[in-house]
């Protein structure tokens, strides 16, 4: 393992959908909506986007805890939802996603070159996800064939609990052989990603474009009125900042600049979670 300076970042742990693949984070959203529809429950896209980043079982459970969703379930089934229903919805979700994910597995533009740049500088690459291992078994070969090859991929089933718990990040750190945790950066597109990184004692970087929070396709971003897009991005930045992100970047390819800023903070005694640092304006 290449040695970097003591006050430097040695590893980056990426999220998957909405961060390095699946611009706009659409595969899990469509999957959730369709899975609930199969059980007679209509869940709006905006509602499905809430709590994105959780393990899929936890996400389904969170949705059913919403009064409007539970009321819809009870209207369709004449009874309250149960753990068996959560399992059944999850099974339907997994079946659908296993068919769909290959269409959302290609790396986002610029990701491969950016990650290669980090790796050439001695930074190691890990990842966490809300997807299950069978889902990742669909995504990973396609992403790797396109040039995105993280050294570590950890799913919720391999640790005591998924996000926002820190265990997947700790498992990455263990497999990468990196400590203390402030030599690692967690990068993601959801508030739960930020929670995960903060709970692990890592630096956290939120990504705006392509994110679940922005919820726009590349086509929609290009076509949108610049002033409207700026307002939407500003809202995403505010949410991530309020959640405690150390830095919020406009695009995933801006990450190397964020790492430089973090290393400058480290060199002067800075620590994660001490407050937001301005880097990129949306």
Catalytically annotated residues? 15, 56
- 103 annotated to a ligand binding site: no
Q: Give pTM, 2 decimals.
A: 0.91
In tens, the pLDDT along 140-194 reads 999 999 999 999 999 999 999 999 999 999 999 999 999 999 999 999 999 999 9
Q: 249 has which bridge partners? A: 207
pLDDT at 281: 41
- 15 annotated to a ligand binding site: yes
Domains and CATH numbers, the chain: 11-25+106-267 (3.40.50.1000), 27-103 (1.10.150.240)
Among 190, 167, 95, which Cα is nearest to 138's? 95
pLDDT above 50 (res 96): yes
- 189 annotated to a ligand binding site: yes
> Nearest 5°: phi and psi at 206?
-95, 145
Q: Are strands 247-249 and 11-14 parallel, antiparallel or unpaired?
A: unpaired
Give the angle subtended at the CA of 68 by the CAs of 30 and 42, to the nearest 5°.
30
Give the angle subtended at the CA of 76 by the CAs of 25 and 69, to the nearest 5°.
40
Share of the chain above pLDDT 90, in %: 89
């Amino acid at each position: 393992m290449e040695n970097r300076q003591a006050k430097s970042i040695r590893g980056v742990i990426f999220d998957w959908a909405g961060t390095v693949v699946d611009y706009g984070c659409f595969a899990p959203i469509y999957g959730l909506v369709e899975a609930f529809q199969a059980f007679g429950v209509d869940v709006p896209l905006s509602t499905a986007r809430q709590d994105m980043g959780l393990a899929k079982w936890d996400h389904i459970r969170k949705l059913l805890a919403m009064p409007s969703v539970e009321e819809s379930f009870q209207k369709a089934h004449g009874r309250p939802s149960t753990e068996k229903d959560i399992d059944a919805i999850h099974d339907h979700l997994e079946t659908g996603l296993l068919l769909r994910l290959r269409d959302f597995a290609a790396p986002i533009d610029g990701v491969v070159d950016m990650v290669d740049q980090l790796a050439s500088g001695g930074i190691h690459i890990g990842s966490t996800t809300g997807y299950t291992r069978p889902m990742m078994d669909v995504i990973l070969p396609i992403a790797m064939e396109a040039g995105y090859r993280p050294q570590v991929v950890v799913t919720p089933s391999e640790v005591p609990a998924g996000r926002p718990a820190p265990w997947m990040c700790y498992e990455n750190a263990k497999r990468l052989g990196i400590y203390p945790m402030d030599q690692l950066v967690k990068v993601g597109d959801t508030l739960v990603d930020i929670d995960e990184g903060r709970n692990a004692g890592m630096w956290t970087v939120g990504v705006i474009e392509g994110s679940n929070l922005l919820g726009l396709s590349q086509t929609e971003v290009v076509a949108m009125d610049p002033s409207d897009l700026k307002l939407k991005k500003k809202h995403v930045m505010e949410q991530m900042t309020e959640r405690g992100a150390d830095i919020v970047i406009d695009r995933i390819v801006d990450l190397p600049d964020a790492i430089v800023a973090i290393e400058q903070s480290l060199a002067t005694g800075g620590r994660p979670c001490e407050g937001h640092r301005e880097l990129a304006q949306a």
